[in-house]
Amino acid sequence: MNLPVTSLSKFGDAMRRYSGVIRGIQWCVVLFYAVLLIIPAFMTLPPDQARALDNLTLFAQFIFWGIWWPFVLVSVVLFGRIWCGVFCPEGALSEWASRHGKNKGVPNWLKWSGWPAIAFALTTLYGQMISVYDYAKPALLILGGSTVAAVIVGFLFGRGKRIWCKYLCPVSGVFSLLARLASIHFKVDEKRWQENPEPHLPVPNCAPLIDIRRMHGTSACHSCGRCSGQRDAVRLSLRSVNEEIVSYGQEEKDPWLIRLLMFGILGLAIGAFTWTVSPWFIVYKQTLAEWLVNHEIYWPLNQNTPWWLFTHFPANNDAFNWVDGFCVVTYIVGHGIVLGGLFSLIMHLASYIAQKGKDFYTHICLAFIPLGGAGLFLGLTATTVKLIRQNGYAILWVQNVRALLLIGAVIWSFTLAWQILTKRQIFSIKRFAILVCFAIICLIVFYNWYLMFWGWSDLPIMKLTTAIHLTFFLVPCLLFISIIKYYNKKHNKPLIIKVTQL
């Protein structure tokens, strides 16, 4: 099989040819990142009437948390990890430091596959403890601390590679999961690679240390383009968004990625995003405070926590006492343990029903990626919406989009589960039982987001207008899919031809 040359693959080749431009982009992002991260941390807190367009602190807050993070996630789902390979300031700095550092070998403890999951959990938790989305100093502590660590790791162990990104970055696990949904990737033709045709291009420096010849998907690839056209066997190509999970999901050997998905993204992250609006959290905190007062223990009610441990900005009337801090930590960690434990148990039951070996559990759990990704996006964009509203824009359509996104993600996850069951040849009653297990988890996750955006607000149920708008969006989509399926069936060939098949 020779991979076809398309406009897309030519774009991949251009990424290789103009690697200097990519480096220039990276240094521009580094500069922009440094300005937005460092300067606001040394400015006074913005006054009440300040807005994002006339105050650097609020502008930086909006760029970092309102746009940057949520839409980096979207870019990973759409285009793979191009953020890592082309734009990420941490990756660029770590790789630069690695070229000028000690060049030590990577120690074994650093290669432990659990670090990205642990780092994700700790940074998510710590971010909530010190209100990273709301203040510039905590943002500098967390993001700046992570950047300094990336540079140190690069300086010590790099050898021109991105050791930090591969083994330690707190979001590398999340990106690795979400990138499996991307519709473009650097596709490798292994047979062509082995033929090693002329011209012999220099060996590319694959910063995340990938065995390019055997690369199947885009989960580890940073989409930097440095290997494009290598041995005439690597091309930027289109693919089905379900291909990597359905066709290669069973090859995933890292149990920590699945723990990150089930305990971190579907568990802990829900706790981290919902505690600020949860009435359960208030009841929990009040019960604990009353118990302490009844027992004449008053010191935990003092707001004397240091800002780097728990939120402490008294000028803004925003300071945790020790009870607040304890409740935030236990609420978030509790969500991770309870929801993650329950979800794992249910999916182990599903895999017991399937009787398809150990890899089935991993394979079927990967089908939750769309739902997990949608949850992260919704949680992060809650800050975006809050900031936009603080700047005087009502954006009334946002509830409809949220509902649409959640429903779409559930449908996408179900489609993946269905296709995985077909690939693993699981039919009839077993298929039904596994899908029931899958549906229970989707329902619990959906319900949690429902509570955050509708149930706990002044909208007791999703508004009728939301339902009408959803119908308005969904009916044409379903019609479109049905027409394509009908055409495919009738003519036995796809109406939409993938570029890779040309």
Cβ–Cβ contacts within 10 Å for residue 31, how many?
11
Residue whose entry in the numeric block shows the structure tokens 């990519």: 22
HSE-CB at 279 with a 13 A cutoff on CA atoms is 7
Q: How far is the CB of 211 from ligand SF4 (least distance, A)?
A: 9
Q: Collapsing DSSP states into helix, strand and coil, what is residue 496?
A: coil
Choice from 160, 204, 255, 408 touching ligand SF4 (CB under 6 A): 204
Q: In this structure, is the dihedral angle defined by the CA atoms of residues 317, 321, 327 and 330, taken in order, positive or negative? A: positive
Q: Please, which residue, 29 or 206, has the CB nearer to ligand SF4?
A: 206
| 227 lies in the binding site for ligand SF4 (CB under 6 A) | yes
Q: How far is the CB of 442 from ligand SF4 (least distance, A)?
A: 32
Alpha-carbon distance of 196 to 194, in angstroms, equals 5
Q: Please, which residue, 16 or 137, has the CB nearer to ligand SF4?
A: 16
Residue whose entry in the numeric block shows the structure tokens 């050791």: 163
| 85 lies in the binding site for ligand SF4 (CB under 6 A) | yes
| 224 lies in the binding site for ligand SF4 (CB under 6 A) | yes
Q: Please, which residue, 212 or 367, has the CB nearer to ligand SF4?
A: 212
Q: Collapsing DSSP states into helix, strand and coil, what is residue 184?
A: strand
Q: Which of the stretches 55-63, 219-227, 306-314, 390-398 binds ligand SF4 when contact is defined by CB under 6 A?
A: 219-227
| 334 lies in the binding site for ligand SF4 (CB under 6 A) | no
Q: In this structure, is the dihedral angle defined by the CA atoms of residues 126, 129, 132 and 137, taken in order, positive or negative? A: negative
Distances (CA, A) of 288 to 171, 201, 317: 34, 66, 22
Alpha-carbon distance of 299 to 303, in angstroms, equals 9
Residue whose entry in the numeric block shows the structure tokens 């495919």: 488
Q: Please, which residue, 77 or 221, has the CB nearer to ligand SF4?
A: 221
Q: Please, which residue, 97 or 206, has the CB nearer to ligand SF4?
A: 206
- x/- letters, 146..185, toward ligand SF4 (CB under 6 A): ----------------------------------------
| 79 lies in the binding site for ligand SF4 (CB under 6 A) | no
Q: Please, which residue, 217 or 325, has the CB nearer to ligand SF4?
A: 217
| 223 lies in the binding site for ligand SF4 (CB under 6 A) | yes
Choice from 76, 130, 221, 339 touching ligand SF4 (CB under 6 A): 221
Q: Please, which residue, 205 or 415, has the CB nearer to ligand SF4?
A: 205
Q: How far is the CB of 373 from ligand SF4 (least distance, A)?
A: 21
How much is the CA Rg of the chain, to the nearest whole Å?
A: 24
Q: Which of the stretches 131-139, 225-233, 255-263, 307-315 binds ligand SF4 when contact is defined by CB under 6 A?
A: 225-233
Distances (CA, A) of 446 to 337, 368, 404, 455, 461: 18, 12, 12, 11, 14
Q: Please, which residue, 97 or 212, has the CB nearer to ligand SF4?
A: 212
Choice from 180, 226, 235, 431 touching ligand SF4 (CB under 6 A): 226
- x/- letters, 49..78, toward ligand SF4 (CB under 6 A): ------------------------------
Choice from 46, 208, 370, 375 touching ligand SF4 (CB under 6 A): 208
The tokens of 194 are what? 């082995």
Q: Which of the stretches 61-69, 106-114, 218-226, 425-433 binds ligand SF4 when contact is defined by CB under 6 A?
A: 218-226
Choice from 8, 210, 388, 444 touching ligand SF4 (CB under 6 A): 210
| 236 lies in the binding site for ligand SF4 (CB under 6 A) | no
The tokens of 154 are what? 């690069």
| 4 lies in the binding site for ligand SF4 (CB under 6 A) | no
Residue 159 phi/psi, 5-degree rounding, is: 50, 45
Q: Residues with Cβ < 8 Å from 347, sequence gap 6 or more?
A: 262, 361, 364, 365, 437, 438, 441
Q: What residues numbered 90-129 form the site for ligand SF4, per CB under 6 A?
A: none
Length of the chain in terms of residues written: 502
Would you give the DSSP letter of residue 315? G
For residue 170, cis peptide bond before it (omega within 30 degrees of 0):
no
Concatenate the DSSP letters of all residues of 188-233 into one string.
Answer: E-HHHHHH-PSS-PPPP--TT---GGG--SSSS-----TTTTGGG-
Alpha-carbon distance of 39 to 35, in angstroms, equals 6
Alpha-carbon distance of 275 to 299, in angstroms, equals 23
Residue type, 388: I
Q: How far is the CB of 22 from ligand SF4 (least distance, A)?
A: 11
Q: Which of the stretches 122-130, 215-223, 403-411, 480-488 binds ligand SF4 when contact is defined by CB under 6 A?
A: 215-223
Q: Where are the alpha helices (DSSP H) in 304-427?
A: 322-354, 359-365, 369-390, 398-423
Q: How far is the CB of 85 from ligand SF4 (least distance, A)?
A: 6
Residue type, 26: Q
Choice from 91, 158, 217, 225 touching ligand SF4 (CB under 6 A): 225
**DSSP H or E segment with residue 319:** strand 318-319
Q: Which of the stretches 30-38, 208-216, 363-371, 387-395 binds ligand SF4 when contact is defined by CB under 6 A?
A: 208-216
Q: How far is the CB of 228 from ligand SF4 (least distance, A)?
A: 7
Number of residues located near ligand SF4, criterion CB under 6 A: 15
Residues that bind ligand SF4 in the complex, under the rule CB under 6 A: 85, 186, 204, 206, 208, 210, 212, 215, 221-227
